[in-house]
Amino acid sequence: MAAGVGFLSSFTRDGKSLPRYQPTGKGLKLTFKPYELQLKHTFTIASNSRTTTAVMLTELEWEGVTGYGEASMPPYLGESHQTATKFLAALNLSQFKDPFRMEEILDYVDQIMPGNCAAKAAVDIALHDLVGKLLNQPWHRIWGYSAEKTPLTTFTIGIDKSAEVVIAKTKEASAFKILKVKIGGGNDEEMIKSVRSVTNVPLCVDVNQGWKDRQQALDKIHWLKEQGVVFVEQPMDKTNFDDNAWLTQHSPLPTIGDEAMQRVSDLVKLHGVYSGINCKLMKCTGMREGHRIIEMARSLKMKTLMGCMTETSCGISAASQLAPIVDWADLDGNLLISNDIFEGMKVVEGKVTLSDLPGIGCRKL
């Protein structure tokens, strides 16, 4: 094996010692750039509509190797180009001379300010990409997961008052073998009937806290089950633990907490309230904590969904590294935008299909 920059040049021939990186005294160099994602369609959920998403693109360089990261900041989560700039500018990563000390580096990033979860994820993802590239392996391999065990991904159909628009969007999504339908906007039955008029694939629904009465919610879930729905995401207000727990207890379909689930510490509170959780890197500060959340949820026998925001293929490829161990994936965020600048994970016949590229498994276009 050739000795690269930073490699120990000598190692024994008995196979017991491997070449490895050695810190050379140079610190990590972080750079960042604001970017605006253009959405192909106006995206409407129970609470709002939009046509763009602000993201911050990060690069973390060490010894000539660059890791890529991303913060996606939909407005309802409270982060913006301004907050991410303030957060990232406050970091001093040049003090870290060894990128393999990931725990130390990411503890520092997490503790410097509260909140800023997407901005923290932008550093976490870039660090994972850098370290995976230094090891020349993608993270699903480093973690020990089998690439072929990835699930199908859902593709999201947003709420629209026009049945024709819903039908057209559903037809456009004919390559997907499971769809996520946004409901909770007052026209639930029309949404499902429009989708069902053109496809028989399994559906999941995301209510985005839109239901207010638990008995009506339960009646709707029974009807949705008859329509071939497989799970119900965030049925009621995220702060209403009692009604969500009652619904989960009585529901014939699994319930999934999304808005209620942010950091790993939320998981303990949500055990018993929902059947499972939706883990998104932008909510939980990135791959280190996302990995913990998925592993802990599985230990608690909770269902796991790996989700995303509208993101480039950088963020989506990072999230996809965890896809081999989740029950469901909702990793369509890069497919909803028209100006992606990365390529990585691909959806092949509806299935999350990981690239062999090292790190988070993506390359810049």
Interacting residues toward Mg ion by CB under 5 A: 206, 233, 258
CB of 207 to Mg ion, least distance (A): 9
Closer by beta carbon to Mg ion, 134 or else 277: 277
Q: Which residue is nearest to Mg ion (CB)?
A: 258
CB of 88 to Mg ion, least distance (A): 26
Q: Strand 29-44's sheet: what is its strand order? A: 29-44, 49-62, 65-73
CB of 330 to Mg ion, least distance (A): 8
Amino acid identity for residue 204 in this structure: C
Supply 355's token pair.
């690239």
CB of 189 to Mg ion, least distance (A): 20
CB of 101 to Mg ion, least distance (A): 34
Closer by beta carbon to Mg ion, 124 or else 258: 258
Closer by beta carbon to Mg ion, 208 or else 313: 208
Q: Which residues contact 150 (CB under 8 A, 6 or more apart)?
A: 320, 323, 324, 329, 351, 352, 353, 354
CA distance 358 to 171: 35
Closer by beta carbon to Mg ion, 206 or else 289: 206
> What Cα–Cα distance (Å) separates residue 40 from each residue in 53, 74, 338, 351, 364?
11, 15, 6, 21, 21
H helices of 185-286, in order, are 188-196, 214-226, 241-250, 266-270, 281-284
CB atoms near residue 201 (< 10 Å)? 19
Closer by beta carbon to Mg ion, 206 or else 311: 206
CB of 25 to Mg ion, least distance (A): 45
Closer by beta carbon to Mg ion, 139 or else 211: 211
CB atoms near residue 218 (< 10 Å)? 18
